[in-house]
Amino acid sequence: MAIKIHPGQLLFVSLLTLLVSCQPAPGPQLYQQQLFAFGTLIDISIVTRNSQQAQDAISEISSEFDRLHLQWHPWKGGELAQVNQQLALLKPVAISNELAELIKQSQTLSQQSEGLFNPAIGQLIRLWQFDQLENDNFQFHLPSPKAIQSIVDRKPEMANLKVFKNTANKSFVQSDNPAVILDFGAFAKGVAIEKMLTILKAHHIDNALINAGGDLKVTGSKNQQPWRIGIKNPQNAQDPSQPAILAAIQLNSGEALFTSGDYERFFIANGRHYHHIIDPRNGYPGQGVRAVTILDTDAGRADAAATAIFLAGPEKAMNIARKMGVTHLLLIDSDNHIYLSPAMAKRLELLTENSTSIFSTHD
């Protein structure tokens, strides 16, 4: 199979057929590989003169995504799944330093978000069956209000967890609430992307983009120009006559762009739309917002903040953003009104005529 590499274009091919030449190219080329992990397609784009360098980096990134997908999945037999089976015993559970750091970072972000970002509600996520979306034969059943309220009443929170080390410097976690089950679906993808950027740096790759289902981070540039990214229009998901792209933005090196929306992972039951962003305050999908996009230098924080601000809604969005250290945000409410933080308004190129508001700096 012959493969043509065209500068400035994206190439979708399998890993086995990618980058057949090991000789340095005469000029920077754009190589891309598509993977599947964390329940989504992941596109890796690398600009380099050395095809072998790109191939080696992509191979390591692929293996690392596979490892993290297993280890951080709440139910599939990896480390987190094993920890979840033991937390309800309210006894210390041995964990890796990597998982300990993930939990501690989540605790800080959860506190800053006033509990709107809450990975401790794994029982609610599973009750809503969003962990089953990858199964082709799955049929959704609406959870009973009684079952939902039972979990909400027990108030699983990240503050219920204590992470510590013993005298041998081994990490442990212990819960004081048997309702706590961890699901890092609103955080793990961002943290994983940060790890992948570290791999790229170790391979001396300065110009790249990692895009996990529309959530992404860039390093360097694309052909000496900033990476130009389109932001999906939520209206297009329901009405294909609406523009597919809502806005465009140019990303500088080290910037991440993450979106939480009600249009990607959802069920329809009894004529109603139930999306995957569950509000820990009542146990139901958040209402009043279609999508939130966050621009930040930390992909993990952007991931968590997109979820928290989605649940906060327009009234509390800027307050929660400030507490989480976020300055650039775009919010689209259920009436398709667009809200921008002042910092985001300076960066974003809107491609729609929908009414737009700038969040008050005093919100």
Q: What is the pLDDT of residues 88-143, one digit of tens each?
A: 999 999 999 999 999 999 999 999 999 999 999 999 999 998 877 666 677 788 99
Rounded Cα distance, 355 and 363, in Å: 19
**What is the CB-side half-sphere exposure of residue 28 using CA atoms within 13 A?**
17
Q: Please say if the pLDDT value at position 361 is more than 60.
A: no
Residue 101 lies in a domain: yes
Q: What is the pLDDT of residues 116-125, one digit of tens each?
A: 999 999 999 9
Rounded Cα distance, 152 and 147, in Å: 9
Rounded Cα distance, 329 and 341, in Å: 6
Residue 33 lies in a domain: yes
**Least confident range of 5-9, 209-213, 300-304, 338-342:** 5-9
Q: Are residues 296 and 355 in the same domain?
A: yes
Q: Are residues 53 and 150 in the same domain?
A: no
Q: Please say if the pLDDT value at position 362 is more than 60.
A: no
Q: Are residues 21 and 35 in the same domain?
A: yes
Please say which residue of 109, 140, 175 terminates a domain. 175
Helix (H, G, I), strand (E, B) or coil at 158: helix
Rounded Cα distance, 347 and 252, in Å: 11
Q: Are residues 64 and 95 in the same domain?
A: no
Residue 156 lies in a domain: yes
- DSSP β-ladder status, 215-219 and 256-261: antiparallel
Find out whether 295 and 324 touch, Cβ atoms under 8 Å.
no
Give 26's pLDDT tier (boundaries 50, 70, 90).
low
Q: Are residues 249 and 114 in the same domain?
A: no
Task: Supply the pLDDT for residue 138.
Answer: 73
Place of tokens 């089976």: 85
CA torsion 70-74-76-77 (nearest 10°) is 80
Q: Are residues 48 and 97 in the same domain?
A: no
Give 3's pLDDT tier (boundaries 50, 70, 90).
very low
CATH classification at residue 124: 1.10.3980.10
Q: What is the pLDDT of residues 212-237, one digit of tens each?
A: 999 999 999 998 899 999 999 988 88
**At residue 244, what is the residue type?**
A
Find out whether 49 and 23 touch, Cβ atoms under 8 Å.
no
Question: In degrees rounded to 5, what are phi and psi of residue 323?
Answer: -65, -30
Rounded Cα distance, 277 and 284, in Å: 8
Q: Are residues 354 and 276 in the same domain?
A: yes
What would you report as the CA-atom Rg of the chain, rounded to the nearest whole angstrom?
A: 21
Task: Supply the pLDDT for residue 353.
Answer: 75
Task: Supply the pLDDT for residue 21.
Answer: 37
Range of the domain at 165: 83-175
Residue 77 lies in a domain: no
Q: Are residues 346 and 265 in the same domain?
A: yes
Q: Are residues 239 and 143 in the same domain?
A: no
DSSP H stretches of helix in the chain: 51-71, 79-87, 97-112, 122-127, 145-153, 188-202, 234-238, 299-324, 342-347
Residue 78 lies in a domain: no
Q: Are residues 245 and 347 in the same domain?
A: yes
Long-range contacts, stretch 141-147, CB < 8 angstroms, 24+ apart = 142/269, 142/270, 142/274
Residue 38 lies in a domain: yes
Q: Are residues 259 and 335 in the same domain?
A: yes
Task: Supply the pLDDT for residue 63.
Answer: 96
Q: What is the pLDDT of residues 307-352, one digit of tens each?
A: 999 999 999 999 999 999 999 999 999 999 999 999 999 999 999 8
Encoded tokens for 172: 């442990």
Residue 32 lies in a domain: yes
Find out whether 79 and 96 touch, Cβ atoms under 8 Å.
yes
CATH classification at residue 262: 3.10.520.10
- How is the chain split among helix, strand and coil, in percent rounded to 5? 35, 25, 40
Residue 298 lies in a domain: yes
Q: What is the pLDDT of residues 254-285, one digit of tens each?
A: 999 999 999 887 777 788 888 899 999 999 99
Q: Are residues 194 and 157 in the same domain?
A: no
Q: What is the mean pLDDT of the chain?
A: 89
Ramachandran assignment for 319, one of left (phi > 0), alpha (psi -120 to 50 degrees), beta (any other): alpha
Q: What is the pLDDT of residues 177-195, one digit of tens each?
A: 999 999 999 999 999 999 9
Counted domains in the chain: 3
Q: What is the pLDDT of residues 138-156, one digit of tens each?
A: 778 899 999 999 999 999 9
